[in-house]
Amino acid sequence: MGSEGRSWSGAAAVGGGVEGEAAIAAVVAPAPGDVPASAASVDIALPLPEMTPRIIGICKELVRGWSSLDSSRFSIETVSGGITNMLLKVSAEDGKGNKSSVTVRLYGPNTDLVIDRKRELQAIPHLSAAGFGAQLLGTFENGMVQSFIYARTLTPSDMKEPRIAAEIAKEIRRFHQVDIPGSKEPQLWDDIFKFMKKASILEFEDKEKQKRYETISFRKIQDEVKELKVLWMLGAISFILFKEPLLFIFFLHHRRAHIHKDLSDLLHAPVVFSHNDLLSGNLMLNDLEEKLYFIDFEYGSYSYRGYDIANHFNEYAGYDCDYSLYPDKNSQYHFFRNYLQPDRPSEVQLQDLDALYVETNTYRLASHIYWALWALIQAKVSPIDFDYLGYFFLRYDEYKKQRESCLSLAESSLSALKNG
């Protein structure tokens, strides 16, 4: 889906390059352990003019070098009003012809139900140090201040352009190599079950919404997720087959028995720090510098490599959710070559491409379930005028449509490995 919805949002804002009216001055970012925090908050329900004094005060408190500037030297403009956040560009002139800008992100109400802010804030400084996204300048009660990125937001059609797809693949590989302190346990299934618990006990005042909601079988969804939790590892089979053949045989014997132990612990499948929300709105490109940016790490966590890639592929569907745009096998292999060997993509072995293809397309299903359940929670708590309930059915219907083909792919892969 994309946390910031069918427009875009994130840790940075779109810019038009160099601004002509003043020289652009860089904002100095604090060291990761020295990021200032303010107890102040902003009422996001207020019109922007009424928010402005509060926002200026927060920026003067948090942004290094801005504390002594007169409030008249500030300007604020709305960059995006996404589905969960409001994004503002705040600029200040120092009186010497220099102008600098920052991004202020205001969290939407109830977003803590679907976003782990503590996890996000823990990751941002380390991702920033590795060259991802905007730099964290400070936090306040219901938002954060970050550096401003001068770049354009990609469109869904941009993502599948071969040159850009190759760069995205290389950046995802680099992203997956970042080490974030703390537990390295994958969070995907825990997050899905948390979403399910919240989504399964909702009540809607709107009778039509309630009627549609009551058609959902959460017991069936729960069973599906439990099965997926076992099936996901099919995509990683070739990764471990020759290292752990006895585990492979064990899996073949018990596959249909609904094993309730997470076999990922046994199979050592790739668990990496994942973005988990790489829709076009969270990808930015500075065309002059030919630099690609990943932004918005609200859903970032340690997760499965295949899930992060599959979730990105699902976003080829764009804002209209046209899943016929999901990349074909040739397009995926182009992506995988650049992911697996960025410097020598033509040298990637076919068996490695095949393994990642199965891994990724098995996780395609988990992505649909994740965002479907996310949408149900948003349908209840979000004040934004968006058909979240309809989005649930769209994603869940696509899950059901793709389920057999994805499982068939996994079964075919197992059969080939068994007979080969």
SS (H, E, C) the chain: CCCCCCCCCCCCCCCCCCCCCCEECCCCCCCHHHCCECCCCCCCCCCHHHHHHHHHHHHHHHCCCCCCCCHHHEEEEEEEECCCEEEEEEEEECCCCEEEEEEEEEECCCHHHCCCHHHHHHHHHHHHHCCCCCCEEEEECCEEEEECCCCEECCHHHHCCHHHHHHHHHHHHHHHCCCCCCCCCCCHHHHHHHHHHHHCCCCCCCHHHHHHHCCCCHHHHHHHHHHHHHHHHHHHHHHHCCCCHHHHHHHHHHHHHCCCCCCHHHHCCCEEEECCCCCHHHEEEECCCCEEEECCCCCCEEEEHHHHHHHHHHHHHCCCCCHHHCCCHHHHHHHHHHHHCCCCHHHCCHHHHHHHHHHHHHHHHHHHHHHHHHHHHHHHHCCCCCCHHHHHHHHHHHHHHHHHHHHHHHHHHHHHHHHC
**Where exactly does CATH 3.30.200.20 map onto the chain?**
48-150
Task: Please list the rounded mean pLDDT of every run of 10 residues in the chain (420 residues).
Answer: 41 40 65 87 92 97 94 91 78 90 91 91 91 93 94 94 98 98 93 97 96 97 87 50 50 44 46 96 94 95 95 94 97 98 97 90 93 96 89 96 87 66
**pLDDT score at 418:** 58
**pLDDT score at 5:** 42
CB atoms near residue 11 (< 10 Å): 28
pTM: 0.85
**Where exactly does CATH 3.90.1200.10 map onto the chain?**
156-419
**pLDDT score at 419:** 63
**pLDDT score at 170:** 98
Which is the CATH superfamily of the domain at 156-419? Aminoglycoside phosphotransferase (APH), C-terminal lobe (3.90.1200.10)
**pLDDT score at 95:** 82
**pLDDT score at 4:** 45
**pLDDT score at 386:** 87
State the fold for domain 48-150. Answer: Phosphorylase Kinase; domain 1 (3.30.200)
